[in-house]
Amino acid sequence: MSKQVCVLGLLICIFLLSVSCNSTHPPISQDISSNEASQISNEDKSSDVKSETNASSQYLIKEELILFQDVKPLDISKWKEYKNKIYPFTLKYPSQYQILEEKYRIEDQSKGRERDPDNGVHIFFSSNKQDFIYVKGNISTPQNPYDDTYKQEGKELFRTNNGNLAEFVYYYDGNKILAYIEYFKDKDLHNSPNRSTHHDARIEMSKDCFNNKKDVIFALLKSVTPIID
């Protein structure tokens, strides 16, 4: 009898001890599950923030090339350099290409005339001068001369050799390609409204000429370096 009482008492003690432990400490598996859920939630939030940041900055930072995606880098160290002193910028071009500078004119102020708002240089890609790039500076905000007349075929972003962004918009007119390029002040797409000068370019040439000279065209466009005041 005494032995049975002792065994019964031992069982009761084990039961009470078990109940006490369970009420004091939740199951370990629950703790792990909760921590994992919290960690996953935090990682998801972090991922969302990164995703939103990348989405908002992708267009501002990353080059987006389609038309020029297959071009090969060229060594332009031996190219000639053109300098525009009126709306300061520089560019480089192959020495065998003919250029024509648009001379800046100061009109007679007494006759109520104002200065020519554009000044730049034509680079000709053919002897008949029908295929060219024209790069210029402006005293007013640049205007795309093709957007109201032609259907836009595509828009790309590229970085110039000095790291700034430029936007390249192109159109087709029969067998010709027309393109408008705007150069931006900083390393994003925001031009300051307080700038006194702006820089842009346009391309007019046959599709054959463009495709045959694409490497040269892209290297020339990337060499344009506005000198911002």
Q: What is the pLDDT of residues 200-212, one digit of tens each?
A: 999 999 999 999 9
pLDDT computed for residue 50 by the predictor? 40
pTM of the model: 0.67
Residue 175 to residues 143, 202, 207, Cα–Cα distance (Å):
24, 17, 6
Residue type, 10: L
Q: What is the pLDDT of residues 119-161, one digit of tens each?
A: 899 999 999 999 999 999 887 777 899 999 999 999 999 999 9
Cβ 118 vs Cβ 138: under 8 Å: yes
Sheet of 225-226, strands arranged across: 80-84, 89-93, 225-226
**H helices present in the chain, as ranges:** 2-24, 28-61, 207-212, 214-223
pLDDT computed for residue 164 by the predictor? 85
CA 97-101-107 angle, to 5 degrees, is 170
Question: Which token pair is 218?
Answer: 């892209």
Name the stretches of the chain with pLDDT < 70.
1-62, 103-118, 186-197, 228-229
Name the nearest CA neighbour of 93 among 217, 228, 226.
Answer: 217
| Nearest-angstrom CA–CA distance, 169 and 149 | 13
